[in-house]
A and B are shown apart, each in its own frame.
Chain A
Amino acid sequence: MLDRTDCILSVSGLTKRFILSTPWIVRALSGRPPRTVHAVEDVSLTIRRGTTFALVGESGCGKSTIARCVAGILEPTAGTIAFMNRDVTGARGRAGREHRRHLQMIFQDPYASLNPRWRVERIVAEPIVTHDLLAGRRHIEARVAELLRLVGLSPADARKYPHQFSGGQRQRISIARALASEPAFIICDEPTSALDVSVQAQILNLMRRLQRQLGLTYLLISHNLAVVAHMANTIGVMYLGRLVECGDAERVFGHPLHPYTRMLLDAVPDLEMTGRRRQALGGEVPSPIAPPSGCTFHPRCPLANARCARERPQALPNGDVFVACHAVEEGRIEVPAAANAF
């Protein structure tokens, strides 16, 4: 187990369900049962200070919901979130504000996450003003200039509006805003998905440089496995609201255990053109409104048996990786020594 100082965020048993029902009177008349989306089910994870923890999975698997619960935007249905050794589950008011000062977020779409009517200086200064970190216009201006330089923009850009920048530059502004309150922890929700590859490389390099300089901890959410492989120290693979495999990045991607992780890695297009044939694995992610019984992956899993359909697998340690899979537990799946050499 990690010692307390090393661990910056620890989430245990996090569950988030959304009620989708129509009003009760409509339900009573139509005789339909209430419906819930099981967005996140019983997820536990810990993140070490100064590292990057990546959550991967396909759309609708609950990655962003976890991020929003951690950021205090959503209140979890069950479970606890401890940040810097304090319980911040559903923190409101002063405690919530203090929590968010140390934890900031970068969003996917740099066109939607910046107020188009504000100048860059106001956008970047907002956290400073909200948290009352600096007094006096001159000090704030100097700090904004310093932040813009830090992310590779010019202090003169402070007078411009967001529409005067390209997508990559806007994402730099988002990063500058996130850094303004000197957070220890940044949640990056698909930070480069809206960007072109050459610009993506610039932003990823910037994020890594800032992590080295400022000792930041990242929770990175991405569906791009190559970005995750490049950035992450620890990887959590999610499927239908559950963490199916979690552990050291090189272990998880180098020697994947869970059949879903293997399938995901197999689906990545091959740039090296080795002519590798993909294992044809059909099916799509089922609806989180009515998740399959037992292991939620069993309808698509080539190794599923009666137990998988009946009983939900628990996350069990396998070496230094946690895997929730009956086939791995029972040894029905061969655990390769070096199947997917890193």
Chain B
Amino acid sequence: MADPLLSVRNLRLEIATRRGPLLALDDVSFDIAPGEVLGVVGESGAGKSITGTAIIGLLDPPLRMTGGEIAFAGQRIDNLSAEAFRLLRGRSIGAVFQDPLTSLNPLLTVGRQLVQTMRVHLDISPAAARSRAVELLAEVGIPAPTERLDCYPHELSGGMRQRIVLALAFCCEPRLIIADEPTTALDVSVQAQVIELLRRMCRERSTAVMLITHDMGVIAETADRIAVMYAGRVVEIGPATAVLKGPVHPYTRGLMASIPSMKRRTADLVQVEGSMPRLAEIPSGCAFHPRCPVRLPHCDCQRPSLMNAGDTLVACWLAAHGNVAPTRETIGHA
């Protein structure tokens, strides 16, 4: 693989509380290559969003980084000053968040927000920025872009707003976009449009994306590689087809099997008992062991690190013992 665009190594985040620090993210490492779409999946509380927040340097107390490093295009960015980070954010790393209404400024017109962002980061005249804003709005599929420039966010529908957010994220031609649940607040028909748009814009510009979502369907359609997170750790990471069609970690297997299918009307869904542990009570050893149907005796005391299992890396002792038995047929749907 070429030099990674983004490289996260042993990232560790803590939340300071009165009863001592809680470990929110523990030893998370992954790379994103230029132009690659990395899908990060997991259920609520897995630590997906704070990983994204840490990368764009927007961690707020009580959250803080206590270990590891983040490098962007070969340079360390986790120790940048707030001012230096501000120049990087929006210019080289763009962001798209879940709720377009809260990520747009309600007091500024759409055009003003676009022009302002470009003027801060690029050496561009107001008139040139404005005409570029019109081009961008046309590209993200907004009808009558010139008139829409003078609209306020509340005058637009949810899908339109998310298109504006995409235009904002792309306006300075960043090399990486952090997209945190970009379609969760949208209806299915609009979700399909926005995902298609995001995919097209990234392909045309070869922008890399870290796509954070809990929706396996969105990931399946978009990602090149997938990282599955559980309780603040990456439990499985690998090429999208390998993770989706032949997941190895028992959590990924359970997760895939518990999704109702449009085509198969099984009697009952495969279910993973229990739920994601709270941060204050993350189990020892492998964090998944209390819910794991195939745990080994030492899973509750020794924590597995990521190890090779075919095409993917998996944090599971089953992989170490070489008995990655389950084939596609036994992955679930039992």
B260 at the interface (CB under 8 A from A): yes
Per-residue CB proximity of B65-89 to A under 8 Å, as 1/0?
0000000000000000000000000
Check if A270 sits within 8 Å of B268, measured CB to CB.
no
Check if A196 sits within 8 Å of B217, measured CB to CB.
no
Check if B217 sits within 8 Å of A268, measured CB to CB.
yes
Check if A282 sits within 8 Å of B271, measured CB to CB.
no
Check if A223 sits within 8 Å of B196, measured CB to CB.
no
CB-CB under 8 A for A271 and B220, given A197-B214, A201-B270: yes
Tally chain A residues at the interface, Cβ within 8 Å: 45
Check if A205 sits within 8 Å of B268, measured CB to CB.
yes
Per-residue CB proximity of A314-330 to B under 8 Å, as 1/0?
00000000000000000
Check if B157 sits within 8 Å of A278, measured CB to CB.
no
In the complex, A199 Cα to B276 Cα: how many Å? 9
Cβ of B322 to closest chain A Cβ, rounded Å? 27
Closest to A269 in B: B217
A150 at the interface (CB under 8 A from B): no
B191 at the interface (CB under 8 A from A): yes
Per-residue CB proximity of B204-245 to A under 8 Å, as 1/0?
000000000011111011000000000000000000110011
- Report chain A residues within 8 Å CB of B158: 284
* Stretch binding the partner chain, chosen from A42-50, A128-136, A226-234: A226-234
In the complex, A342 Cα to B297 Cα: how many Å? 42
In the complex, A265 Cα to B189 Cα: how many Å? 9
Check if B265 sits within 8 Å of A230, measured CB to CB.
yes
Q: Of B188, B258, B259, B261, which one neighbours A58 at CB under 8 angstroms?
A: B188
A267 at the interface (CB under 8 A from B): yes
In the complex, A263 Cα to B187 Cα: how many Å? 12
Check if A282 sits within 8 Å of B193, measured CB to CB.
yes
B57 at the interface (CB under 8 A from A): no
B323 at the interface (CB under 8 A from A): no
Check if A270 sits within 8 Å of B258, measured CB to CB.
no
Q: Of B159, B192, B271, which one neighbours A269 at CB under 8 angstroms?
A: B192
B279 at the interface (CB under 8 A from A): no
B275 at the interface (CB under 8 A from A): yes
Check if B196 sits within 8 Å of A269, measured CB to CB.
no
A280 at the interface (CB under 8 A from B): yes
Per-residue CB proximity of A186-210 to B under 8 Å, as 1/0?
0000000000111111101100110
- Report chain B residues within 8 Å CB of A267: 188-189, 191-192
Q: Which of A251-280 contact B (CB under 8 A)?
A: 253, 263-273, 278, 280
Check if B271 sits within 8 Å of A198, measured CB to CB.
yes
Cβ of B224 to closest chain A Cβ, rounded Å? 12
Q: Which of A164-204 contact B (CB under 8 A)?
A: 166-169, 196-202, 204
A73 at the interface (CB under 8 A from B): no
In the complex, A201 Cα to B276 Cα: how many Å? 14
Check if B261 sits within 8 Å of A226, measured CB to CB.
yes
A153 at the interface (CB under 8 A from B): no
B54 at the interface (CB under 8 A from A): no
Per-residue CB proximity of B237-264 to A under 8 Å, as 1/0?
0001100110000000011001111110
Check if A278 sits within 8 Å of B192, measured CB to CB.
yes
A7 at the interface (CB under 8 A from B): no
User: Which of B159, B189, B263 counts the most chain A CB atoms within 10 A?
Assistant: B189
In the complex, A271 Cα to B332 Cα: how many Å? 14
Check if A58 sits within 8 Å of B271, measured CB to CB.
no
Check if A59 sits within 8 Å of B187, measured CB to CB.
yes
User: Which of A205, A209, A266 counts the most chain B CB atoms within 10 A?
Assistant: A205
B63 at the interface (CB under 8 A from A): no
A225 at the interface (CB under 8 A from B): yes
Closest to A224 in B: B260
B141 at the interface (CB under 8 A from A): yes
Check if A284 sits within 8 Å of B159, measured CB to CB.
yes
- Report chain A residues within 8 Å CB of B272: 198, 201
B26 at the interface (CB under 8 A from A): no
Q: Which of B265-293 contact A (CB under 8 A)?
A: 265-266, 268-273, 275-276
B99 at the interface (CB under 8 A from A): no
Check if B263 sits within 8 Å of A201, measured CB to CB.
no
In the complex, A58 Cα to B192 Cα: how many Å? 13
Check if A223 sits within 8 Å of B221, measured CB to CB.
no
Closest to B291 in A: A198
Check if A223 sits within 8 Å of B188, measured CB to CB.
yes
Closest to B191 in A: A267
Q: List 15 A-B contacts (CB under 8 A).
A: A58-B187, A58-B189, A197-B216, A198-B254, A198-B271, A199-B275, A200-B258, A201-B272, A204-B269, A205-B271, A224-B260, A273-B244, A282-B193, A341-B263, A342-B265
Which residues of A are at the interface with B, using a C-beta cutoff of 8 A?
58-59, 166-169, 196-202, 204-205, 208-209, 223-227, 229-231, 253, 263-273, 278, 280-282, 284-285, 341-342
Supply 9 further A-B pairs (C-beta < 8 A) apart from A224-B260, A271-B216.
A168-B275, A199-B43, A200-B258, A204-B260, A208-B268, A229-B261, A267-B192, A273-B221, A278-B192
